[in-house]
Amino acid sequence: MAPPALLRSLGMLGLMVLALLVGRAMRVPGTDFSLLWPAVGVAVWWMLGRRPMRVHALDATLLVLAGTAVNLATGAPAAVAVTFAFINLVHGVLGAVVLHRTGVVRRGLTGVGGVAAVLGTAVAAGVVSGALSAAAGALLYGSDPLATLKMITLRNVAGTFLPLLVVLAILRPRRFRELLGGDRRGEWVAAIAAGSLAYAVVFGILPGIPMAFSVMPLFVWFGVRLGLARTVALTAALGMASTVLTVGGQGTFSSVESPMIRSGVMQGFLVVSMLAGASLAASQESRNRAAAALAEAKATMTALIDAALVGNSVVIVEGEHVGRLVLPNPSLQRLLRTPPLPLPGAARAVEEATCWLSYLFPEDVPRVRAVLDDIASGSITEWSGELPHRRSDASIVWAQVHLSVLPSGLAPSGAPGAEWLVDGTDEAVDDAPPAAHKAAVVQFLDVTARRDAEEQLTHLALHDGLTGLPNRVLLRDRIELALAASERSGTYVALVFLDLDHFKSVNDSLGHDAGDLVLAEVARRLARVVRPTDTIARIGGDEFVACYPEVPGREEAEVLAERLLAAVTEPVWLGDRFVPVAASAGLTLSGYGDDAPTLLRQSDAAMYAAKRAGRGRVASFDQALEARANRHLTLSGELREALAKDQFVLHYQPIVDVATGAVTACEALVRWQHPHRGLLAPGDWLDVAEESDLIVQLGEWVLRRATQDMATVAETIRPLKVHVNVSGRQLARPGLVRQVATALSDSRLPAHLVVLELTETHLLEIHGSLLNDLGRLRQIGVELSVDDFGTGFSSLTQLVKLPIDSVKIDRSFVSGAAADPKAGAVVRGVLGMANALGLAVVAEGVETPAQAAFLERIGCPSAQGFLWSPAVDLQRLRALLADGTRLVPL
């Protein structure tokens, strides 16, 4: 057996012996009947607990031996000693089982239910042991079984109930600390003194059974004020004292002549007094625990509400105090930045801080008052909305407000205690508005950050991120508003579409950061020269549009456009250099269109007209431009459809050796096989494609198709170089190297058989990354040629700097070279320069034998033109090459 178990068994044995001796000492004088038998309570306690079977067997044996020995030692016959020892064991086992089932041992004495469970255990065990004792008495003594049953049952109930309450109420660490320490020590000492004095008088001096119950108020005091441990301990001690006095023949119960009745009354008194005090104490503890739990929950809830990000309060919705915020939580006080809550009798200067309506903007007050009236009348039960609030420091905070009716059961009741200050008075009122005043719960969620973010997103959605100017979306809205206003006033809306000239060269030569600085400065200049009612917007990379509402006529509009252009055409200082800036502008008036898209399209067409006219000027939209714009609009749609339906075809014009007529290369020229108008040359539609992104898609298609066609020619006939034109928009877009590499890879055409033709007018735009791209093309074997040489303004520096392989002399010089000495001199000059730079030369547009003879005479190696062959389809080209014939002038 483990030492702790053995120690417990020995300890319980000692306690049982003591209880038996006490019980035997409490025998009624002249009888062998004990007035109090605590041994049964100790037996129940001893048998409690889960232990190994052998330990239970030992404990049972020790219990029986102790009972037998003490009974024998105190004069009981052997048969009686053994029988009642076994009855004590039965009582202990049964009581332990019942008490364990009630759960009191595990939970402890919690509430009146715990006390009742102990009493029920005592009654159950007492009835059984009483019945056994009655049977044993009848057999051993021939006593009356019914009288013995009553007497033993009541004694054992009392002997079980009191010790078990003492054990459960005191012999636990927390309960024991409450007994010895705890608060109300003075009252504890007073209770001991008062109880001792009362018992000394009642049970020591005064006769008569009724006087015993005069001490019952003491148990009420004990139970309500002292706590369970102290109440049980004091009641048990006083009960033992009264028992001793009664055994000694003193006190109120000593006057009862019958020993049996005297013991019964005494035991009943002990049970009732202990039951009253313990029940009140247990009930009071339950109330205290519930109150503490409620206080803790309230404190927790208050802390959570106070710590919540959502502001909470109760708002009065009717009466003279409508709109007043009652007890706002700290979050609401921080949100509105209100002064501290007013104290009773405080000055009325703080009253404005507690009125919700005083924080609203004047235009919102009627709406909120109407909502409060609707809630007061019951027409609505809740409302939500977002409202701006002006705080005491003049700052503005936006709050999402939610109002809901306060349930009547939770509405302030007006109970005294706390006091609220009434607006306009210095007197205190009850803790709540009168019953006639309805209230609502109001919650405030700070949405200022979200509103600011939404405003920023809205601004970003409607404004350009770089310049801060309105973007295309906002511009169109402003145009529509201006059109409506102009229609009412009988004036015009003027639109000026402004595009910076050669801006790409700024990005390529100085970098995009420098380009952004230029755009920002241009935007500031434009914003300075427009009127407050005008709108200046950035709708693209270097494209700006000014909208002028209510313009009297064209002359005034032209003045505004010239002023806008003049503001731009001043150099921009970037910190270490001046960057020249120029622009072209297109002007239109609302007389030619009545919606935003039309005016934008017209001004855009006029801007391109200004560029075609030489740039740096203003062009006005007129009937001719309108026709051009309509043509542009129609052709744009048809060209997109043509790309989607593969309506384009390639023709190839041979490039020949001037001296021999041998075909040395060809130029890929695109044609449009229109479904209704037949085969269309580029002159009928190419300008429209070049003014849009269609030219980029078309150029990529031409590159793919030309490399595929020449790959088949190389495989079936012989390798032949193909010249492919590259537009300015293609050059401006990144990815040219990738497009060429993909086309060569897909077609498997050797790179040296591809010549990319760049128009001379685009040479000035080749800087930075584009120059690197051209260098990469040369590295993979692709040749580069300058088309229409002599018509542009390129410098000789560009020819030296760029990786050029050949130049093509423009037809305007070639056509007059034979007859015009000046034109001939230009052709000779270009040829000489090209030879000096190591560049190949091709003369374009040769149409007469005289022109061919001149070119042969000056040593021009290659040419192309109708003199030898027009552009032909792939089948005809293959036939020319397959014949192996040399082309002769037609």
Q: pLDDT tens across 858-890, in order?
A: 999 999 999 999 999 999 999 888 876 667 665
Q: How far is CA 815 from CA 410, 663, 793, 846, in A?
A: 102, 21, 20, 7
DSSP letter (8 states) at residue 790: T
Q: How far apart (Å, rounded) are the C-alpha atoms in residues 98 and 124?
A: 8
Q: 807 CB contacts (<8 Å, ≥6 apart)? A: 785, 786, 789, 799, 830, 834, 839, 840, 841, 842
Q: Which of 86, 163, 98, 71 is nearest to 132 (CA)?
A: 86
- CATH for 644-883? 3.20.20.450
Rounded CA-CA distance 166/174 in Å is 14
Dist. CA 39–CA 604, nearest whole Å = 114
308-409+434-450 topology per CATH:
Beta-Lactamase (3.30.450)
| 1-171 CATH fold | Arp2/3 complex 21 kDa subunit ARPC3 (1.10.1760)
Question: Within the chain, which residues score under 70 in pLDDT?
Answer: 1-2, 29-32, 50, 172-183, 203-213, 223, 248-260, 302, 304-308, 339-353, 407-437, 592-593, 761-762, 764-765, 767-768, 790-798, 884-886, 888-890
Q: Residue 353 has what DSSP assignment?
A: G
Cα 841 from chain centre = 67
β-bridge mates for residue 480, sequence order: none
Q: Using alpha carbons, select from 275, 254, 261, 159 the residue that is nearest to residue 203.
A: 254
Task: Tell me the two tokens of residue 816.
Answer: 């007059």
CA distance 365 to 243: 80
β pairing state of 721-726 and 663-674: parallel
Determine the pLDDT at residue 372.
92
- Token pair recorded at residue 478: 């402003």
Bridge-based pairing state of the strands 678-680 and 618-620: unpaired
Of 43, 30, 35, 142, which is closest to residue 84 (Cα–Cα)?
43
Q: State the Cα angle at 625 between 620 and 630, rounded to 5°.
A: 140
DSSP codes of every residue in 559-599: HHHHHHHHHHSS-EE-SS-EE---EEEEEEEGGG-SSHHHH
Q: Strand runs (DSSP E) across 774-815, as ranges?
A: 783-789, 806-809
- Give the C-alpha distances (Å, rounded to integers) separating 762 from 504, 514, 543, 796, 833: 11, 21, 20, 14, 20
List strands edge to edge, sheet with 382-390: 325-326, 311-316, 439-446, 396-405, 382-390
Residue 668 confidence (pLDDT) = 96
* Residues 48, 106 contacting (CB under 8 angstroms): no
What distance, in Å, lies between the first and last C-alpha atoms of the chain?
Answer: 131
pLDDT of residue 852: 92
Burial 869-878 (b: 16+ CB within 10 A, else e): bebbebeebb
Distance CA 278, CA 220 (A): 9
Residue 337, classified by CB atoms within 10 Å of its CB into exposed (0-12), middle (13-18) or buried (19+), is: middle
* Residue carrying the six token digits 């003491």: 218
Joined together, the tokens standing for residue 783 give 């040749």
Residue 409, phi then psi, degrees to nearest 5: -70, -20
DSSP code string of 96-153: HHHHHHHTHHHH-S-HHHHHHHHHHHHHHHHHHHHHHHHHHHHHHT---HHHHHHHHH
Full-model pTM: 0.47
Write down the pLDDT at residue 411. Answer: 47
Pairing of strands 754-759, 721-726: parallel
> What CA–CA distance (Å, rounded) separates 812 from 825?
13
Helices (H), 205-326: 209-212, 216-225, 228-247, 259-307
Residue range 463-621 in CATH 2.120.10.30: no
Q: How far apart are CA 750 and CA 56, in angstroms?
A: 105
- The 10s digit of each residue's pLDDT in 198-221 is 777 776 666 666 666 677 777 777
Taking 3-state DSSP, the helix, strand and coil percentages for the chain, each rounded to the nearest 5, stand at 60, 15, 25
Q: For the chain, what is the largest distance between any 2 Cα atoms, rounded to a whole number of angstroms?
A: 169
Residue boundaries of the structural domains of the chain:
1-171, 181-301, 308-409+434-450, 463-621, 644-883
State residue 37's pLDDT score. 84
Long-range contacts of 538-542 (CB under 8 A, 24+ apart): 538/464, 538/466, 538/467, 538/469, 538/470, 538/471, 539/471, 539/472, 539/475, 541/503, 542/499, 542/500, 542/503
